Amino acid sequence: MSSAYTPDQIERFISLIKLPPKYHPTKNPAKDLAFLTNLHVHTISTLPYENLGWHYCTTKDYWKLSLAPEDLYQKFVGDGRGRGGYCMELSLFYTQVRSYG
C-alpha cells in the first residue's frame, strides 16, 4: 500500500514528531518492529487523542469531521501545532504515514 502523502509531507510530519534520524525515509529504514515502535511512540507523544474541542468549541464548523487524508494532514501537521484528534482520525492518519516508501 502506498501513502496518500508526498515525501515532503512525510518529512514535515517526521520533523514534527522528532523521529530519530535512523528511521527517516532517506535512510531507507527496515520496516521492522523497532521502526514501528519508534514511529508509534513518537506519534502518540506528539499527537494526542483529544475531544475537548467537541465540548468547548463555540462554532459548529469544528463538529464537521472529515477523514480525508488531506484534511487529516492539515489538522495534525499543516498548521505546525501538532493538534490531536479522535481515535479514528489518528488511526487513519497513522496508517497513511507508516505506509510511506
pLDDT in tens, 11-41: 999 999 999 999 998 888 888 999 989 998 9
Closest CA to 85 of 73, 70, 97, 100: 73
Domain ranges, ordered by start, for the chain: 7-98
Tell me the percentage of the chain whose pLDDT exceeds 90: 29
pLDDT tens digits, one per residue of 36-46: 899 989 988 99
Other beta carbons within 10 Å of 14: 22
pLDDT tens digits, one per residue of 52-66: 666 766 666 656 778
pTM more than 0.85: no
